Structure 1
Amino acid sequence: MNPEAAAFTITGVSIGYPGRPVIDQLSLSPLPPASVTTLVGPNAAGKSTLLRGVAGLLPARGVVRLGDLTLSGATRGAWTRRVGFMPQTLPAGARLLALESVVAALAASQPDEGLSLSQSAMRARAMATLERLGVGGLALEPLDALSGGQRQLIALAQAIVRRPAALLLDEPTSALDLRHQEQVMRVARDLATTGMMVIVVLHDLAMAARWGSHMVVLSQGRLAAEGPPDQVLTSALLARVYGVDARVERCSAGRLQIMVDGVIDHGSSRSGAPPPSLPPP
């Protein structure tokens, strides 16, 4: 089986930090190529921890598999070549120019794959990636001179320039204005149409419902729900997971919108009945 065109499997996965487990025996339905999965949940639900573990940046127990390649059995280079990861922010104090940082990300994948792109070819691909994201004009700017939103776009360029089979994006829109939010999510969906599998952490539920074909909801490190957004997002789930009284409605364009009417305090809902507890995974 060619892992470049295979499903992504997460089965019985536990991830955490010394003395602090976060993800507990999580299993998801196989995520197919050419799809966008949105990963949502309250603060501290484990979304970023899950993404970092799946990317190979945190120790993970269980099975994380892309086709016939498993995280536990792959070299670091083989895994990062096939699974691209975009963190919430780039490290501070980087002195590289934006273009240089994207070239470096591409060059890092070459030894493992036996690629032989010339320096000029790598620069051309890196520049084309920046242009695709609308930040070609920042190519010769140092990273530490860029705004937070600009740095996020450069981080996305670093993640996609390798053309991985699976792309993991950790809150890629959090520091972006509306125009760049739209642009980044369009790029994510376009990449999925070319066969890439995309998992993206989002806080905006309406955005997650709009751009994702599959939604995974985490709560306290466990799976609360998964499936098509219009089936997952319900008033009952929002009460149970987010602790809010809310309605899920469609706007005039047919897109799902979340209307929050109030906060559920002290374990009781607007009707006076306690919200249902989270079911076991």
Structure 2
Amino acid sequence: MKSIPAPLLFLAHVTVMRGDRVALHDINLEIACGEHVCILGPNGCGKSTLIKTITRECYPLAREGSHISILGRERWDIFELRSLLGIVSPDLLASCTTEATGRDVVLSGFFSSTRIFPHHHPDPKRLLLAEETLARLGIAHLAHRAVAEMSSGEAKRTLIARALVHKPQTLLFDEPSNALDIGAQLQLRKTMRELAKSGLGILLVTHHVSEIIPEIERVILLREGRILADGPKSSVITEEQLSNLFGVAVRLGRRDGYFHLY
């Protein structure tokens, strides 16, 4: 009899403070490994705090009945955890040294940094894996190009390559379309779809409904640190739910599996 795999993420009655403000209030959430999920909400709703709680940059209040585990474990070495959760975020992109090359950025994932320093010595296996990952995403030509010379879209795809070198179980995309032009946004969505179809779990955190790729079937709505709705995309992404979420009347359109607000 096969054992049931531990969920990717399990939160029970989790409350997180940021300063003197409650950023997440009594959150109950479970996400399975390999699941494609979107957490959708306006700016300031607690999305960033939730990500930082998952990556152990923020910690919940210690209360009776409160519990958080990732892949069935409550205690993690932070560097090991971040290698299993491939993270693509604006904060990570901003921390990349502009002189670092595409290959440096990808290799830095092995050292939990954002570039290669003199004391880092990637072995031939890691060098080959970095090259293969860049090629997989169609950006082998960026291996020796400095981040400062890349477009926003190229830099974002380099970060995805960095996230992939560890062969993570799930990729976490935090507001992935920020600062991308239309062409780069379309390329990003194509890449996300290909990764989802390859079997990787996708956790998308965004305030843009248009970023939700067709492969995502579950959507969680977050507002003011509370979960408003959690369920199948077809029942959560509605004009009524989204108007309530964003505090303004919206109209909803859908084409080719994507949603649009107007």
TM bucket, shorter chain: 0.7 to 0.9
**Aligned partner of 1:91 among 88, 91, 95:** 95
Q: Where does residue 45 of structure 1 map in the other structure?
A: 45
C-alpha change, 1:250 and 1:187, in structure 2 (3 Å) is closer
Offset from partner CA, 1:15-74 (integer Å, 9 cap, x none)? 34222331112112x21222211111111111122112211222234433233222xx11
- Matched residues, number: 248
Structure 2: stretches of 5+ with no match in the other structure: 114-120
TM-score by length of 1: 0.76
1:208-228 Cα offsets, whole Å, 9 max, x none, are 163411111111111011111
| Residue 226 of structure 1 pairs with residue 227 of structure 2 | no
What does 1:242-257 correspond to in 2, within 5 Å? 242-251=246-255, 253=256, 255=257, 257=259
Match of 1:77 among 76, 79, 87: 79
Gapped runs of 5+ residues in structure 1? 110-116, 261-281
Alpha carbons 2:44, 2:224 under 8 Å: kept: yes
Q: For the residues of structure 1 that align with 2:3 and 2:85, how far apart are their CA atoms?
A: 14
Structure having the higher Rg? 1
Q: CA deviation at 1:91?
A: 1.2
SS of alignment partner, residue 42 of structure 1:
coil
Q: CA deviation at 1:87?
A: 1.8
Q: Describe the SS at the equivalent of 1:90.
A: helix
Are the structure 2 counterparts of residues 217 and 229 from structure 1 closer, same or farther at C-alpha, using a change threshold of 3 Å?
A: same
Aligned position for 2:9: 8
Q: What residue is the counterpart of 2:56 in the other structure?
A: 56
Structure 2: how far apart are the matches of 1:102 and 1:87?
A: 14
Identity of aligned residues (%): 23
CA distance in 2, matches of 1:221, 1:12: 12
The separation in 2 between residues aligned to 1:54 and 1:177, in whole angstroms, is: 29
SS of the residue corresponding to residue 169 of structure 1 reads strand
In structure 2, give the amino acid aligned to 1:81.
Answer: S
The Cα offsets for residues 146-172 of structure 1, whole Å up to 9 and x where unpaired, read as 333332222222122111123211111
Give the SS at the match of 2:67: strand
Q: Cα distance 1:122–1:223, how it changes in 2: closer, same or farther (>3 A)?
A: same
Describe the shift of the 1:25–1:58 C-alpha distance in structure 2 as closer, same or farther (beyond 3 A).
same
Counterpart for residue 34 of structure 1: 34
Query: Does structure 2 conserve the Cα–Cα contact (< 8 Å) formed by 1:39 and 1:201?
Result: yes
TM-score by length of 2: 0.81
What is the RMSD computed on CA atoms of the aligned residues?
Answer: 2.8
Query: Which residue in the other structure is 2:26 paired with?
Result: 25
Name the CA distance, whole Å, in 2 between partners of 1:51 and 1:79: 13
* Alignment correspondent of 1:166: 170
Farther off after superposition, 54-63 or 218-227: 54-63
1:209–1:230 Cα contact (<8 Å) kept = no
